[in-house]
Structure 1
Amino acid sequence: MIHIKNLARYSIDKLGGTMKSIKNNLFIVFIIALMVMVSACTTEKNDEKTDLNKTIRSNKIDMVVTDLVVSNSQSEKKDTIMLEVEMEFKNNSKSDYGIGAHDFKVKDQDGKIHDVYGMEPDNFGDVLPPGKSMKGTGYYEVPKNTKNVSFIYQPKEESLAEWKLTVPERKR
């Protein structure tokens, strides 16, 4: 039998033991929850699908966007960047085929269309003989906050091919 004097000490000891295990369990749960939250915040989520390196054939011409690079804009507009779209082409037809950067458009995530940056002398453009291949880069000025674009082959009024691309963060 427990004396009344010892009852208080006995109750505190009993509760203390129980509280200790509850505190330990709560601490472990807290640490696990903290680790999950930190990993969720630091993981970059890039679920955007990209058509980089996807070959599209239009008018018997194989076209591939091989790289997308961001560089500083050459214009006086401060809130823009330059997208450098690197491509490869192969003419599978039996006749010459003229193709150039001016045949392509960039549509940003807001739906705004951006034509080739005409002041860039390195924009590609050439006549591609049958069976031959070429590489080239087109330059397109877009707003700085652009994250995703549609790269559209539109030599005339009708769009003949389209790539969905994610704009990289890195700059050249």
Structure 2
Amino acid sequence: MMPIKNLAKYSRDKLGGTMKPFNKNLSIIFIIALMFILSACAMDKNDENSDINKTIRSNKIDMIVKNLVVSNSQSGKKDTMMLEVEMEFKNNSKSDYGVGAHDYKVKDKDGEIYIAYAMEPDNFGDVISPGKSMKGTGYYEIPKNTKNVSFIYQPKKESLAEWNLTVPDRKR
């Protein structure tokens, strides 16, 4: 009979019922893998209500919000932050199509509308040739504690597309 203090070092072999030494390295690898899996699940829950990577087609243009980044406000206002919306476009029409950050608006839960930050020279804007793609980032100054927004494609008076987005907590 094995002393109880040594019992924890052994595991039962399923086939023969014999006792074999338990591999510490295997258990450490298993615990690390489990931590990665659980942390990935936690990250997915934060974005499960977000339309990141959702393709919306309007006027034969595929539009995708690829990523959101929060950075410090460029205006110097302490109660605001800069929401950077990274997008991709593909022109599936037979003619040139112009898109720009000023065609999009951010709307918060209170219905307040925020337009592209005019002082940001890196706001996207270009004409996309038929069959071609484009990537770009739009910059929108929003209140600091904003958690969820609607991102609206509104090149004229009518809204043509809308994404529901969860604003990330971390800042660049």
The answer for the alignment partner of 1:5 in structure 2 is: none
Comparing 43-52 with 85-94, greater Cα deviation is found at: 43-52
More strand by share: 2
Match runs of 1:37-116 below 5 Å: 46=46, 49-116=49-116
Once the two structures are superposed, what CA deviation does each residue of 1:36-65 show, in whole Å capped at 9, x if it has no partner? xxxxxxx89748611000000000000000
Letter in 1 for 2:81: I
How many residues are aligned here? Answer: 130
Query: CA separation in 2, counterparts of 1:111 and 1:70?
Result: 20
SS of residue matched to 1:94: coil
C-alpha distance 132-169 of structure 1, shift in aligned 2 (>3 A): same
User: What residue ranges of structure 2 are gaps of 5+ in the alignment?
Assistant: 1-41
Query: CA separation in 2, counterparts of 1:62 and 1:68?
Result: 18
Once the two structures are superposed, what CA deviation does each residue of 1:113-168 show, in whole Å capped at 9, x if it has no partner? 00000000000000000000000000000000100000000000000000000000
The answer for the alignment partner of 2:146 in structure 1 is: 146
The answer for the alignment partner of 1:120 in structure 2 is: 120
Letter in 2 for 1:139: Y
Superposition deviation, residue 77 in structure 1: 1.5
**TM-score (norm: length of structure 1):** 0.73
More helix by share: 1
Superposition deviation, residue 76 in structure 1: 2.5
Letter in 2 for 1:130: P
Query: CA separation in 2, counterparts of 1:144 and 1:110?
Result: 14
C-alpha distance 47-129 of structure 1, shift in aligned 2 (>3 A): closer
Percent identity, aligned pairs only, is 82
Letter in 2 for 1:64: I
Larger radius of gyration: 1
The answer for the alignment partner of 2:171 in structure 1 is: 171
Letter in 1 for 2:161: A
C-alpha distance 47-68 of structure 1, shift in aligned 2 (>3 A): closer
